[in-house]
Amino acid sequence: MPRRSTGQSLVEMALIAPILFALLFAIVDLGYYIWGYSTLFSAARAGAEVASQLPPYESRLALRGAGDPRWLEDPCVQRILEVTNDSTGFFPVDANQVTILYPNTLDPNPRRLGGTIEVRIDYVIEPLTPLVSFINTMLGDNGTMRIKVTAQRTIESLGNNPNFANGIACTEPQP
């Protein structure tokens, strides 16, 4: 008498399915993380490109470190922050996640033609699938991935713009 094996296939599928779903979810989240990194790096690169044309004054950038919201009043800073924000809407970058700085601290005048300006973005990406966050909850980071991207450019212009009253787009903060 032949044996029926329908129950055996069901048990095998029940044992293999969680592994297959875990692998599928891991692949989806890894792709999402890579897409996020690529998008944020492109945003930092675009911000550095604009910063090389419109470098803000150091005194304006120092206001951010002091927690003074006036650092956002500069048209040059506003333009840099505008281009670093992701246009797709999947990875919205706000001003608190962007750092603009002059990396050469030994240079007495870093805001000069040929100097270097840097744009950094520090962003946390949440996972798409519940499985990754469930597994990583046991590890303690809730499945989030912190991405830090940096882009540097050589300063090509000092923000000269004939549309502004003094011919310079960037402004120094008023005391």
Q: Does residue 162 form part of some domain?
A: no
- pLDDT for 99 equals 93
Output the CA–CA distances (angstroms, integers) from residue 158 to 65, 110, 117, 133, 154, in the order listed: 22, 11, 12, 46, 11
> How many domains does the chain divide into?
1
- pLDDT for 22 equals 83
Q: Does residue 3 form part of some domain?
A: no
As given in the structure block, the two tokens for residue 8 are 């055996």
Q: Does residue 57 form part of some domain?
A: yes
Sign of CA dihedral 135, 141, 143, 145: negative
Q: Does residue 174 form part of some domain?
A: no
Q: Does residue 166 form part of some domain?
A: no
- The structure's pTM equals 0.81
- pLDDT for 126 equals 83
Edge-to-edge strand ranges of the sheet holding 116-125:
98-101, 116-125, 145-154
- pLDDT for 44 equals 95
Identify which of 164, 157, 125, 165 has the alpha carbon closest to the alpha carbon of residue 53. Answer: 157
Distance of CA 55 to the CA centre of its chain: 20
Whether the CB-CB separation of 76 and 170 falls below 8 Å is answered with: yes
Return per-residue pLDDT of the chain as tens, 175 residues: 566 666 788 888 889 998 898 888 888 888 988 999 999 999 999 999 999 998 998 888 888 888 888 888 888 899 999 999 877 778 999 889 999 999 988 888 888 889 999 999 999 988 888 776 666 666 566 667 889 999 999 998 887 766 666 666 777 777 6
Range of the domain at 127: 8-154
- pLDDT for 136 equals 63
